[in-house]
Each structure stands twice: as structure tokens, then as C-alpha cells.
Structure 1
Amino acid sequence: MTTTLITGANRGLGYETARQLIAAGHTVYLGARDPERGKQAAADLGAQYVQLDVTSDESVDAAAQQLDSLDVLINNAGIPGPRKEIRELTADVFREVFELNVYGPVRMIHRFLPLLERSDNPVIVNVSSGLGSIATAVDPDVASNVPVWVPAPAYGSSKAALNMLTVQYARQLPNLRINTVDPGYTATDFNGHSGYQTVEEGAEIIVRLAQIDQTGPTAEYLSLHGTVPW
């Protein structure tokens, strides 16, 4: 049986990803910062709850001690950052967003890599965004299933960094399948339910990449529509 850990999974895309993977036969550990919400979400889904704050080394270490094995790590937890005019953005704003969206996945991969490397089919899925595509940002004519000119410099920059991290890890860990995904503009609490996709549609590419075997892609940036331009 495949053991999967999903960060930020008590709602939205993480929750729906957990639901679909449980239906596919995975044993899912549902990571969430808030114990009350996390435990309720896990109970509703039939998942295992693990308290997890990806901005905390201590929390990540404690979570790792609860697992004996791991096949799939899904780095889903993230924040959009404040909606501010660019002249108002400070280094502190960027630092807060990068702490969760970039350093969080780094903490998770570093701590859980020993478990993943013991798996026969180790997989990492980093949940990115179309806003992390530099090619799309500089060319509004590039086909994309998310709005291009959303004013989110900290968020977009953090996802571009996550994309590069994905490639770096994948190239140096060839025995793992490591990819980054753009779920598309999905209606969740994350965006005030303004997205035009359902959460089921948004989770589909995450679920698909979580189920690949060692013949599957690695070091790729993918959406339901195919390869996303870097």
C-alpha cells in the first residue's frame, strides 16, 4: 500500500487530493497546523492526522517521527501573501511568503528524504502555480489556464523559486520522481472562491502525478493541459 503525506491538507486542494488518493487506495497522512481542523478533516476522510507546521523545524521533525515509511510527499501548503500595491511590498512581506512556500518544501524534503529513499517508488509533487511561470509572465500570448497579470509579486516569485528547486532536486536525486504542478485557477478559500475550476478539477493533476511509477516524468512542470512553460 502506498503511504502519502500531504501538507496543508485540512481544506481546499490538499483536502480534495487526500480524498481522491484515499479512494485510489493510498494511506494518507493529512498534515495541518491547526489540530482541531486537521483532526476533523482526517476523521471525515479516513486519513491519519499529523500536526505539521512547515515553517517550523521542530514541527517537521516531530511529524517525521510519526511515520515509519513514506512513498509520496505532496508539498501543498502555501500562502498567497497580502494583496498590496507593489510600492508597499517590503522584504518582510516576501520573507513571510517564502518561509512557507519555498523554505517549507525544503524542510519537508530534507527531513523526509531518508524515508522516501527507502521506498520502491518514491515520488514528490510540489504544488506550484501558473503564476510561477516566468515565460508566461513575460509573454501574455502564451496559452495558460490561469490569469497572467494577477498582482502577486511575492507569491509568483515564490512559486518560480519552487519550480527551480524542483528541477535541482530532481536532477540530483534521479531515483525519485519529482515534479511541480499548476493546478489551475481553482475556487478555494485561498482565492475567495474566485477560481473558475472546481476543487475536483484542480486536484486532478496533483493526484495524477502522485500515482506515477519510476517510468513516469521527473523535473517537469505540468498542468491538466500538458507542459507549462517555465
Structure 2
Amino acid sequence: MNLFISFLIGTFVALPIAIVVWLISFFAFDQTMMLSSAYSLGGGLSIYWLLSMMVKASFLKKNQLTRKEYRYIKKNLDEANLKIKRLNKSLFQIREIPSFKQRIDIIRITRRIYNLTKKEPKRFYQAEKFYFSHLDSIVELTEKYALLTSQPKKTLELNQTLNETRYTLNDLSKAIEKDLYVILADDIDHLNYEVDVAKYTINTHKEQKYLEESRLKK
């Protein structure tokens, strides 16, 4: 839910109403400035709260979620956001050139999944494997990998561990890429359907045009 937009809508409507309430209280009902200000503040806050509830209810209805479901999803998204920040910090601490592209891809995909879910919370249920398994694994591995690569002297055993960690990170990178495809599966199916409809329409139009031209030639 876009809290900033909700705040702007609430402020845009509540502020003029608060001013009107103050003017009516002070001039029409001859109230003191303090009482007029209290009524104005109470009226403005009431309208702001009411509008916030309406925006939230509209958002939940659009996403087909209950308040309980949204609280559960928001809690997990807040935790995931902290994990993604840890992940990004660790990835930027790694100075290896060969794995640069892989690290950028991991950052891009994790942020893409998070932003999609934040915008449309119902997608969270399609991304549970990412939030409850893959994200935790990739954060832990990356933090350990960043620590090990920062060591000034690397033994044979340490290099072997680093190699194994690279392979595992590569597998996890592919796993979160699949998680993204799972989230986008419905969109891809819908797009394919639209493409098929468009192709059918074009082909039908071509056939009709061909038949008309054939009749005219006869």
C-alpha cells in the first residue's frame, strides 16, 4: 500500500475541512480561539482517519485480502526488507570481478520480487518459497562468503570452501530467478493469451480482406 499517496489524499481533504471548522466555530458560534482550534484539530483528524480507513479498505478489497492476511504479509515483508539490506551490504563487500554480474543479478531479482509483492501483496503466497527459504539461505551464504573473501591469506582449505560456496550461490541465484518466474506466471499466461487473440484478429482480418479481393476479381 502506498502510504505516501494515502497521506497526501488525507491531508489534501482534511486540511481544508479543519480550516472551515475553525472559521465556523470562531465566527459563527463565537467560540474562543482555543476551543475553535480544538474543534478544528478534532474535525481534521477525524476526516483524515476516516479517509485512511477508506483507502486501506479499498486497497484490501482490490487485492482480495483480509486485514489479518495483510498484517501477516506486511510483517513478513518488513522482515524481508531488512534481510535484503543485509544481502546488498554483503554483496557490495565482495571485491571479486568475475562474480560481479551474478551479484548485480541477485540484487536486481530480490528487489524485483520484493517490490512486486509490496505493490500487490496477494503475490506473497506465490513467493513463499523465496521469503521463507531462499532469501534466508542466500543472505547467510553471502555474509559468510564476504567474510571469507576478505581474509588476507587463503589456505587450500579456505579456497576449496570458497569454490563450493560460489557453486551454491550460483544455484541459489537460479532458484530465486525461478521464484520470480512463479510470481509472474499469471502475467505471462495473460500476455500469451492477449498475443494469441491479437494474432487471431490479424489473421481473420487478412482472410476477410483476401476473400473480398477474390470476389472483386471475379
State the TM-score, normalized to the length of structure 2. Answer: 0.24
Q: Which has the higher strand share?
A: 1
TM-score (norm. length: structure 1): 0.23
Between Structure 1 and Structure 2, which shows a larger proportion of helix residues?
2
Which one has a bigger Cα radius of gyration?
Answer: 2
